[in-house]
Amino acid sequence: MTTTVHRQAPPAGREPRPARGRSGLFHFIPERVRRAGLPYLLLLPALFFELIVHVIPMVLGVVMSFKELTQVYIRHWWGAPWSGTGNYRVAVRFNAPIGRALLDSFLITCAFTVLAVGLCWLLGTTAAILMQDRFRGRGVLRAVFLTPYALPLYASVIVWAFMFQHDNGLVNHVLHDQLGVTGDRPFWLIGDNSFWSLLVVSVWRNWPFAFLCVMAGLQNIPRELYEASAIDGAGIWQQIRRITLPSLRSVNQVLVLVLFLWTFNDFATPFVLFGRSAPAAGDLISVHIYSASFVTWNFGTGSAMSVLMLLFLSLVTAGYLLTTNRTRKNRA
Amino acid sequence: MSVRARTAIGAVIGATLLAVLPGCGGGTSTGDSGGNSHPKTLTYWASNQGASLEDDKAKLTPELQAFEKQTGITVKLEVVPWSDLLNRILGATSSGQGPDVLNIGNTWSASLQTTGALLPFDDQTFAKIGGKGRFQESALASTGASGKTPTAVPLYSLAYGLYYNKKMFADAGISKPPATWDELVQDGRRLTTGGRYGLAVEGANVSENVHHAFVFAKQHGADFFDASGNPTFTSPGAVEGVKQYVDFIARDKIAAAGNAEYDQNQSIQDFATGKAAMLLWQAAGPNLQKHGMKPDQYGVAPVPVQSGTPGPGQNIDSMVAGINMAVFKNSQNLDGALKFVQFMTSDAEQKKLNGAYGSIPPVKTAAQDPAFSNPELTVLRNTIATSAAPLPQVPKESQFEELVGGAIKDLLADAAAGRPVTTQSVQQRLAKAQQQM
């Protein structure tokens, strides 16, 4: 951000300055302020919309989290009684049912996110590296790999839901009827297995994005590096470890962060797969908050939980950017 | 300052003003009190009653045109799918920008009543639409908390019935549908052979679970809320009732374990395709026929009771299901809105619309029409008139539905996975739900 601003600031004294004392609408403002102020003035509309679209709803959400907001008050929600930190205390009292359920959901979401992001990255990077060299049919394969990402979310997830059905689903047909891997037909949409079915669907949906990003990153690595290293006797693994991965560093930094935020916040996938009341093992935090607020009409508690989630995500993001940037600087 | 800079500043200020102005204008229509400043138009949110949103539009539009011819009021119709309806209503309530007239699920009546956004139907208001006496008592009981002025009027009524496959019953040598649960379990065991099951349940559907749990608890003399509106989920009767329902999969094994994950009406499909011999459903007729079952292939009987015959008190055998119609208090066409409610609850429209949707008119005189006397609707009509009770009309009804329905979904999942379901485990799960209230 900062670098772009510096770059775009016009170097002083390049343009001929208008003569001092010329009459103008804003002549009473000192020249220096006028020059420095223009960029900020140009930013105003963007700032205005940023306020309306992002900041104000967020602030309202924070305000709501301190109110006892149920259906009784939604007509005049600003008149709802203040509950102080009551909503937060309910949300973090982990030995009571509501706090306990939130904590469980949070832990499930963390485990799910780590696995899903890891697998997405691994699959995406592997596929991108394998398809780095030209071969016949590469374009077709690329297109095929990208389809899950291009399909409408609802349609693709509902197809997965059908495939995971206990009695008639494709998954059980293959695992149980054809291969005989499982003794009984397992349930995938209820009970503990729902974690794994959610993971499969999420990775299936998101890995093409990792593939796409890494593929773009690979285009920027000069071929000569590989040729030179091959002459020096480097094998495939060494090339990947010493050339490919270090060159992908900045791409990966953004990719992992974005994947993390998307996966952690994912609402649509679990909601379509499990409906509004998800089994405990697939109870991701966004759906959990949705049912804690919208479905049970307790918007104050829901807001408090959302604020806690926002804080957590901001902390993780800030920590991540700090550490990755520091290591990058150290290396440079 | 250069000309360019000045133009830029002008553009910035202009754009900012343009953006701000509509923001100021938007606030004017959000009044608290309604009136009659727009007497020529109404906006109506209809719930999805037909096979699709288009189907609803096709059925309602001619009636709305007839209303326009009668009164000169144009009705703008929007059919809202069930998945969106409650969110849309809450949005309309908090913003003050909503329809004039809308349909609500009757179980939401008490919750929405407490928002204060809906027009109360006191006796005077009821008089404007033809009087309270025209409606079925059980349907009126689900228009708001008891003792408070209702904020909705019944529009379509439904009740649960026991649907059974005549041929499967005959093949198993069963001559008549079960009247008690013991008989149902016995019959169910005889019918459960060769990959077919006695009963189909929609185990992952939170609302269906709650509707059944409510009836079972009632039959054990229990309620999920006490007189002052506090949850009593763990009373022995409620636990017994929930366990009896879960036992269809857990102990009796007359329903397939796979039913525990049904939430897209797969149980209707199973019944229609002969995979299950019995189904507890509200007005399943049109749906069954859509799946290729002919009306003479299935019979309809009252939902069983513990002993005796269906009636009031502990022999309740259905919730009062149905759709209510409500008016937003801040409507700018209150008189027109009431005229529209009167029109929709008139005998002629009640017959037409309930006939088209396969439901029962909550208006007594309309329900007498021979169109509602086929075997299926006769059973449902009698149930509504004599042995149906409304779900608890308390402000926390939707929490109750979500938590208890979710608890039963978990218990059924346990049963399906082969884990034991005991009185104790049912009680623990319900206690957890109650603590979350």
pLDDT at A5 over 60: no
Q: Model confidence over B116-148: pLDDT tens digits?
A: 888 999 888 888 888 888 898 888 888 888 888
Q: Is B96 in Cβ contact with A190 (below 8 Å)?
A: no
Residue B12 to residue A41, Cβ atoms within 8 A:
yes
- Count of domains forming chain B: 2
**Interface test mutation site (partner A, options B16, B87, B261, max chain A beta carbons within 10 A):** B261
Q: Which of A297, A298, A299, A301 to mutate to test the interface with B (most CBs of B within 10 A)?
A: A297
The reply to whether B426 falls in a domain is yes
For the CA atoms of B310, B315, B318, B319, what is the dihedral angle to 10 degrees? 140
Residue B188: how many CB atoms within 10 A of its CB?
Answer: 22
Residues of chain A in contact with residue B15, where contact means CB-CB under 8 angstroms, are: 45
- Let me know whether B200 and B85 are in one domain: no
Helix (H, G, I), strand (E, B) or coil at B153: strand
pLDDT confidence band for A332 (50 / 70 / 90): low
Q: Is the predicted pLDDT of residue A18 greater than 80, yes or no?
A: no
Hey, are the CB atoms on A71 and B114 less than 8 Å from each other?
A: yes
- Indicate if the pLDDT at residue A54 is higher than 60: yes
Task: State the CATH number of the domain containing residue B121.
Answer: 3.40.190.10
Are residues B409 and B276 both part of a single domain? yes
* Of the partner residues A77, A187, A297, the one whose CB lies closest to the CB of residue B417: A187
Q: How many residues does chain B have?
A: 437
Q: Which of B23, B115, B435 shows the shortest C-beta gap to A75?
A: B115
Q: Is B406 on the interface with A (CB under 8 A)?
A: yes
Q: Provide the pLDDT for residue B312.
A: 87
pLDDT at A25: 66
Out of B260, B414, B436, name the one closest to residue A98 (CB).
B436
On whether residue B1 sits in a domain, the answer given is no
Instruction: Print the domain residue range for B85.
Output: 41-158+321-389
Taking an 8 Å cut-off on Cβ atoms, the answer to whether B1 and A25 are in contact is: yes
Of A26, A75, A276, the CB nearest to B94: A75
- Residues B186, B236, single domain; the answer is yes
Read off the pLDDT of residues A142-185 as tens digits, 9 standing for 90 and up. 889 988 888 899 999 999 999 998 888 898 888 888 888 877 88
User: pLDDT by residue (tens digit) across B67-109?
Assistant: 999 898 899 999 998 878 888 888 888 888 889 999 998 888 8
- By 3-state DSSP, what share of chain B in percent is helix, strand and coil, each rounded to 5? 50, 15, 35
What's the average model confidence in pLDDT over B140-160? 89
| B281 lies in the same domain as B185 | yes
pLDDT at A114: 95
Q: Which residues pair with B43 in a beta bridge?
A: B76
Q: What mean pLDDT comes out for the span B288-311? A: 89
Q: Is residue B218 located within the same domain as residue B183?
A: yes
Is 60 exceeded by the pLDDT of residue B6? no
The stretch A182-208 carries a mean pLDDT of 90
| pTM exceeding 0.95 | no
Chain A contact present for B405, CB below 8 A: yes
Report all structural domains of chain A as residue ranges with CATH numbers, in order of start.
95-297 (1.10.3720.10)
Residues in A touching B20 (Cβ below 8 Å)? 48
Domain membership flag for residue B401? yes
- CB under 8 Å to B71, separation ≥6 — which residues? B336, B339, B343
pLDDT for position A23 = 52
Which helix (H) or strand (E) segment holds residue B173: the answer is none
Mean pLDDT of the region B285-300: 88
- Ranges of H-type helices in A164-247: 170-172, 194-218, 223-231, 236-239, 245-247
Chain B nearest C-alpha distance from A93 (Å) = 12
Is B35 within the bounds of a domain?
Answer: no
pLDDT at B7: 47
Contact B204 A190 (CB under 8 A): yes
| B31 touching chain A per CB within 8 A | no
How open is the CA angle B69-B75-B78, to the nearest 5 degrees?
Answer: 145
**Residues 383 through 402 of chain B touching chain A, CB cutoff 8 Å:** 395, 398-399, 402
Q: Is residue B87 part of a domain?
A: yes
Whether B348 and B251 map to the same domain: the answer is: no
Percent of chain A at pLDDT above 90? 30
Do B267 and B416 share a structural domain?
yes
Over residues B347-365, the mean pLDDT reads 89
CB B165 within 8 A of CB B274: yes
State the pLDDT confidence band at B62, using cuts at 50, 70 and 90.
very high
A190 → closest Cβ in B90, B117, B261:
B261
Mutate to test the interface with A, among B1, B266, B329 (most CBs of A within 10 A): B1
User: Which candidate from B16, B399, B405 shows the least CB-CB separation from A48?
Assistant: B16
Residue-wise pLDDT for B300-335, tens only, equals: 999 999 988 888 888 999 998 899 999 998 888 888
The rounded mean pLDDT for chain A is 84
Q: Is pLDDT above 50 for A13?
A: no
Are B340 and B411 within one domain? no
Within a domain: B195: yes
Could you read off the pLDDT of B195-254 as tens digits, one per residue? 899 999 999 888 899 999 999 999 999 889 988 888 899 999 999 999 999 999 998 999
Cα–Cα distance between B303 and B306 in angstroms, integer?
10
pLDDT band of A7, cuts 50, 70, 90: very low
Distance in angstroms (rounded) separating the CA atoms of residues B105 and B112: 10
Q: Residues near B250 by Cβ (< 8 Å), separated by ≥ 6?
A: B411, B414, B415, B420, B421
In a shared domain, residues B222 and B246 = yes
At residue B207, the pLDDT reads 87
- Please report whether residue B14 resides in a domain: no
Place of tokens 């005991």: B422
Q: Flag whether pLDDT at A115 surpasses 90.
A: yes
- Cβ atoms of B177 and B156 within 8 Å: the answer is no
Instruction: State how far the Cα of A29 lies from the Cα of A39, in Å rounded to an integer.
Output: 15
Q: Do B94 and A38 touch (CB under 8 A)?
A: no
Q: What are phi and psi of B323, to 5 degrees?
A: -120, 135
Instruction: Summarize pLDDT for A274-320 with one digit per residue, the tens.
Output: 887 888 888 999 999 888 777 777 888 889 999 999 999 999 999 99
Residues of chain A contacting B269 with CB distance shorter than 8 Å: none
| CA distances (Å), origin A183, targets A172, A176, A180, B181, B207 | 11, 7, 7, 33, 33
Q: Please count the residue pairs, one from chain A and one from chain B, whose beta carbons lie less than 8 angstroms apart.
A: 113
Same domain for B190 and B275, yes or no, is yes
- B18 and A CB contact within 8 Å: no
Average pLDDT over residues B254-263: 89
Same-domain status, B315 and B326: no
Last residue of a domain, one of B389, B407, B428: B389
Q: What is the DSSP string of A45-70?
A: HHHHHHIIIIIHHHHHHHHHTTB--B
* Percent of chain B scoring above 90 in pLDDT: 38
Token readout for B277 is 């011999």
Handedness of CA A79, A85, A86, A88 (dihedral sign): positive
- Would you state the structure tokens that stand for residue B176, as one six-digit string? 């008549």
Across chain B, mean pLDDT equals 86
Same domain, B256 and B364: no
Contacts of B260 in chain A (CB under 8 A): 166, 187, 190
The residue of chain B nearest to residue A277, with distances taken between CA atoms, is: B406
What pLDDT, on a 0 to 100 scale, did the predictor assign at position A10? 47
Chain B partners within 8 Å of A27 (Cβ): 1
The predicted structure's pLDDT at residue A160: 92
Residue B32, pLDDT score? 60
Stretch A40-68: mean pLDDT: 88
Residue B362 inside a domain? The answer is: yes
ipTM of the complex: 0.75
